[in-house]
Amino acid sequence: MMIKKLPRNRAGRDWVVGDLHGCFELLRRLMKTIGFNPQTDRLISVGDLVDRGPDSHLVGEWLAQPWFHAVRGNHEQMALDAMRNPLEDLDRHLRNGGRWLSEMPPAERDACVAALAQLPLAIEIDSEVGKIGVVHADCPGNDWSALAERLAANCPSAEDYDALLWSRERVFDRGAGHVNGVALLLVGHTPQDHAVRYDNVMHLDTGAVYGGKLTLFCLDDFVEVSLPAGAEHAARFQLH
């Protein structure tokens, strides 16, 4: 499954979290701050769950939770490539914080790789404001509907993979045009000092693993909640 479609959450709240890179303990603290309810709420990740941070080995436990949904980031892709083709790709993963995977016991490593391999490239969420998209880096061609069709048919192009997992063009250009077919697109990949919106694309990677902060964004009321890595209290403010 290359695209996951989530129905409207009529029972609770939907939150989207920026790049985690193994900072799962920080995420637990932030979830406690917002009063996350696993019975009704959902947590969606923009990818890059692993590498560089202290708790990457816990990724399988998080992915097993029914309320946790994630797209594949470039670091998940590097992990998969390293295990499938170690002669060519293992060194790149190790250089980018992937030693945790190589050091896992074989059975646990195999289970972790299997879980990462199941991650979709995109998530589409039904909401009161319309469709909301989640990818790791960017939407190719600013056309969500066309992308969703290709992913549903399991036929993404090389250009799709490059945009979805690696593109930084929108950040560097301070916008690259409106993404058609969604009311809002949530992405990560390129660290920012704070969550920032260009066109209808919200960038949520705020550099938690680099000593920055971890950011959650609520799709129900457009509230952003951030917790700096060394802080006791989170900051919350309304986005307009």
Q: Which residues are catalytic?
A: 75
DSSP 3-state of 95: helix
DSSP line for 168-231 = -HHHHTT-----BT-SEEEE-SS--SS-EEETTEEE----GGGTSEEEEEETTT-EEEEEETT-
What per-residue string of b and e applies to 176-193 under the rule 16 or more CB within 10 Å gives b? beebebbbbbbbbbbbbe
Longest distance between any two alpha carbons in the chain, whole Å: 49
- Of 10, 28, 21, 30, nearest to 65 by C-alpha is 28
Q: Are the beta carbons of 204 and 17 closer than 8 angstroms?
A: yes
Residues in CB range of 193: below 8 A, 6 or more apart: 206, 207, 212
Task: Give the torsion sign (CA, 59, 64, 70, 73).
Answer: positive
End-to-end Cα, the chain, rounded Å: 34
